[in-house]
């Protein structure tokens, strides 16, 4: 259930690292806990994020949850499907495909050291199993 | 926390894959397949709810009518046998201990209270029962409460009962059989849809739940999360959100269930009179545009000044927009008034909207 090729955070986000670019989304567990997602606020392309910053929010029917930058860097892309004004607006994609089509942003880092400190899939599995 | 209470249907919910949570000391299903799906099923067809956590207190004795009339705020004398009424129970300061349903029968009165206020209601009633010839019996843990709600609730339930449901009016109840089991069949609910609440002995819970599920292949079980979005769209107050021990009925637009002139008057009539004089707020519905979702605790402003607070908010599955119940100053209550709700630090437009937000299939007999 938890992809082995991704990194994770304690805030139930995943990070796919390709060179100096990191794609960020929320995990299956996170979307399952939130329930039906109706809106995701993502930052504009060009925004500079500091690790730990709030970079957006996820609104579901039930609740609202902040998104935290898993790493520091510059936003170089966001998922158009999550932008309300876009023709392809489809926030429920985060429920149906959290690790693929429901990605949120791509962050470009200055150097590889910025990618350190994330959890591997085993550590994240343990986190989910512990119920936190 | 003491041991969690289980309803006789807990294992059925778990088998069905429901997510179970602690709710007022009970292990209850919060969601089965998803809030939106369950909500829509209830609005368009029918949903089945396990509400066995609700508290049932039965009042008997020769002074039961006078006793209940003095305890609750609404007027029991207006109620025919078999009738139900919505009411508040208020303390010595005129503040709300709980909101409840009272059913008047020939030989007893039933009080149905919120699970979270069961102890407080029991304490208040028993304290005052000493002065009357009445007996109180808390039957909560012996009674299963199953609700079937939705536009198709009547035809589905009708398949399983010899009672003629079409002549059971809204807010009335009578004893009858469903699947051969005697129970109280009440045409009430908390969803805005037509429907029934069935009060039965625990031993028949499983047979009745499974029988209903089998009677219609589109009937879906509904958890407490969708129950909340359904009641919010219907504009119904929830204790702990709109109603609390800090507020009187007059602070939250419940004057319509607060009858100070009734006979005998409420025990706390004087406190209620004072609460009425000092009340400056009311309960309103607010609608938002776009994907802004109001949440409990968000501030409500007008021209930059705080005029109230959101008490419940969600993204309405039916209207596909943010809706809220809010307690605001009465000066801003007029329908169509544009206010702002502060969403994550930013003021967003919210318009005062007539309740209910969504008019369901409920059959009101005037």
Give pLDDT tens digits for B323-338: 999 999 999 999 999 9
Mean confidence (pLDDT) of chain A: 94
pLDDT for residue B60 is more than 50: yes
Structural domain count, chain A: 1
Two tokens, residue B127: 């304290």
Q: Where in chain B is the domain with CATH 3.30.70.1400?
A: 56-128
DSSP state string for B146-206: EEEESTTHHHHHHTT-SS-GGGS-TTBEEEEEETTEEEEEE---SSSS-EEEEEEEGGGHH
More confident residue, A85 or B9: B9
Instruction: Quickly state the pLDDT bin for B366 (edges 50, 70, 90).
Output: very low
Percent of chain A predicted with pLDDT > 70 = 99
Q: Which residues of A touch B (CB under 8 A)?
A: 35-36, 38-39, 57, 59-64, 84, 91
Give pLDDT tens digits for A2-29: 999 999 999 999 999 999 999 999 999 9
Give the closest residue to B319 by CA, choosing from B292, B357, B361.
B357
A10 Cβ neighbours under 8 A, 6+ residues apart: A119, A127, A132
> ∠ at Cα B311 (B269, B243), nearest 5°?
25
Minimal C-alpha gap between B4 and chain A (Å): 19
pLDDT for residue B2 is more than 80: no
Q: Do B229 and A61 touch (CB under 8 A)?
A: yes
> ∠ at Cα B133 (B132, B135), nearest 5°?
105
> Would you report the helix, strand and coil content of chain B in percent, each value rounded to 5?
25, 35, 40
Instruction: Quickly state the pLDDT bin for B364 (edges 50, 70, 90).
Output: low
Q: Where in chain B is the domain with CATH 3.30.1360.120?
A: 5-52+141-232
Omega before residue B143 within 30° of 0, cis: no
Q: Does B344 touch chain A (CB under 8 A)?
A: yes
On chain A, the residues whose CB falls within 8 A of the CB of B39 are 61
Taking CA atoms, what residue in A is nearest to B317? A61
Task: Please check whether residue A80 is in contact with residue A88, taking contact to mean a CB–CB distance below 8 angstroms.
Answer: yes
More confident residue, B269 or B292: B269
Give pLDDT tens digits for B71-82: 999 999 999 999
pLDDT for residue B300 is more than 50: yes
What is the CATH T-level fold of the domain B235-353, as seen in this structure?
Elongation Factor Tu (Ef-tu); domain 3 (2.40.30)
Minimal C-alpha gap between A118 and chain B (Å): 28
Give pLDDT tens digits for B97-136: 999 999 999 999 999 999 999 999 999 999 999 999 999 9
Domain B5-52+141-232 has CATH 3.30.465.10: no
Q: Which of B34, B223, B315, B318 would best serve as a mutation to test chain A binding (most A beta carbons within 10 A)?
A: B315
Q: Does B346 touch chain A (CB under 8 A)?
A: no
The confidence score (pLDDT) of residue B363 equals 76
**How far apart, in Å, are the Cα atoms of B176 and each of B60, B139, B183, B185, B350?**
21, 19, 6, 7, 46
- Evaluate whether residue A41 is within a structural domain: yes
The confidence score (pLDDT) of residue A84 equals 84
pLDDT for residue B88 is more than 50: yes
What number is the average pLDDT over the span A119-128? 96
Q: Where in chain B is the domain with CATH 2.40.30.110?
A: 235-353
Q: Which of B36, B37, B41 would best serve as a mutation to test chain A binding (most A beta carbons within 10 A)?
A: B36
**Mean pLDDT lowest among A105-114, B138-147, B309-318:** A105-114
**CATH code (residue A104):** 2.40.50.100
- Evaluate whether residue A115 is within a structural domain: no
pTM, two decimals, is 0.92
Taking CA atoms, what residue in A is nearest to B322? A61
Q: Does B291 touch chain A (CB under 8 A)?
A: yes
Q: Whole-angstrom Cα distance, residue A19 to residue B195?
A: 59
- Evaluate whether residue A91 is within a structural domain: yes
Q: Do A62 and B35 touch (CB under 8 A)?
A: yes
Omega before residue B265 within 30° of 0, cis: no
> Which residue from B39, B293, B344 is facing A38, i.e. has the nearest CB?
B293
pLDDT for residue A132 is more than 70: no
Give the closest residue to B244 by CA, choosing from B94, B353, B140, B354.
B94
Minimal C-alpha gap between B266 and chain A (Å): 38
> Which residue from B35, B291, B344 is facing A36, i.e. has the nearest CB?
B35
Residue A20: domain span = 7-110
Q: Do B35 and A61 touch (CB under 8 A)?
A: yes
Q: Which CATH superfamily is domain B56-128 in?
A: Aminomethyltransferase beta-barrel domains (3.30.70.1400)
- Evaluate whether residue A58 is within a structural domain: yes
**How far apart, in Å, are the Cα atoms of B26 and each of A101, B23, B54, B148, B188?**
38, 5, 10, 20, 23
Rg (CA), chain A: 14
pLDDT for residue A59 is more than 70: yes
Mapping DSSP to helix (H, G, I), strand (E, B) and coil, where does residue A75 land?
strand
The confidence score (pLDDT) of residue A111 equals 87
- Evaluate whether residue A1 is within a structural domain: no
Interface of B with A in 118-157 (CB under 8 A): none
On chain A, the residues whose CB falls within 8 A of the CB of B346 are none
Q: Which of B42, B293, B322, B323 would best serve as a mutation to test chain A binding (most A beta carbons within 10 A)?
A: B293
Q: Whole-angstrom Cα distance, residue A25 to residue B199?
A: 46
């Amino acid at each position: 259930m938890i992809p082995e090729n991704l990194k994770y955070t304690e805030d139930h986000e995943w990070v796919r690292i390709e060179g100096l670019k990191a794609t960020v989304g929320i995990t299956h567990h996170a979307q399952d806990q939130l329930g039906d997602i109706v809106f995701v606020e993502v930052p504009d392309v060009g925004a500079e994020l500091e690790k730990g910053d709030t970079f957006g929010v996820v609104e579901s029917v039930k609740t609202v949850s902040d998104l935290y930058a898993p790493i520091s860097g510059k936003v170089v892309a966001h998922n158009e499907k999550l932008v309300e004004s876009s023709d392809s607006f489809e926030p429920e994609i985060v429920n149906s495909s959290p690790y693929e089509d429901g990605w949120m942003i791509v962050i470009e880092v200055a150097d590889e050291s910025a990618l350190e400190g994330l959890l591997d899939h085993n550590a994240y599995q343990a986190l989910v199993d512990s119920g936190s | 926390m003491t041991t969690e209470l289980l309803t006789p249907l807990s294992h059925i919910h778990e088998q069905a894959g429901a997510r179970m949570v602690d709710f007022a000391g009970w292990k209850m299903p919060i969601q089965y397949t998803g809030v939106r799906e369950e909500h829509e099923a209830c609005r368009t067809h029918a949903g089945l709810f396990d509400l066995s956590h609700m508290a049932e207190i039965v009042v008997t004795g020769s002074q039961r009518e006078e006793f209940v009339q003095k305890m609750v705020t609404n007027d029991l004398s207006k109620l025919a046998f078999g009738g139900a009424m919505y009411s508040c129970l208020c303390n010595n300061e005129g503040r709300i201990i709980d909101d409840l349903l009272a059913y008047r029968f020939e030989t007893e009165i039933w009080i149905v209270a919120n699970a979270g206020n069961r102890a407080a209601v029991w304490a208040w009633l028993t304290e005052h029962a000493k002065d009357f010839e009445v007996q109180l019996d808390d039957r909560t843990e012996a009674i299963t409460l199953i609700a079937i709600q939705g536009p198709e609730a009547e035809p589905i339930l009708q398949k399983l009962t010899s009672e003629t449901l079409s002549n059971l009016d809204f807010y009335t109840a009578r004893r009858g059989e469903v699947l051969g089991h005697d129970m109280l069949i009440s045409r009430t609910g908390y969803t805005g849809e037509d429907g029934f609440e069935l009060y039965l002995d625990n031993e028949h819970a499983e047979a009745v739940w499974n029988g209903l599920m089998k009677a219609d292949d589109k009937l879906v079980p509904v958890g407490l999360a969708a129950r909340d979005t359904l009641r919010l769209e219907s504009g119904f107050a929830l204790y702990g959100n709109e109603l609390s021990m800090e507020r009187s009925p007059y602070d939250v637009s419940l004057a319509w269930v607060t009858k100070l002139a009734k006979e005998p008057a409420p025990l706390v009539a004087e406190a209620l009179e004072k609460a009425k004089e000092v009340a400056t707020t009311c309960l309103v519905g607010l609608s938002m545009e776009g994907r802004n979702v109001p949440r409990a605790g968000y501030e409500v402003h007008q021209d930059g000044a705080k005029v109230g607070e959101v008490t419940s908010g969600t993204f309405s599955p039916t209207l596909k927009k943010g809706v809220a119940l809010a307690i605001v100053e009465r000066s801003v209550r007029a329908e169509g008034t544009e206010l702002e709700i502060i969403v994550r630090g930013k003021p967003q437009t919210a318009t005062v909207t007539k309740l209910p937000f969504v008019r369901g299939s409920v059959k009101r007999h005037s």
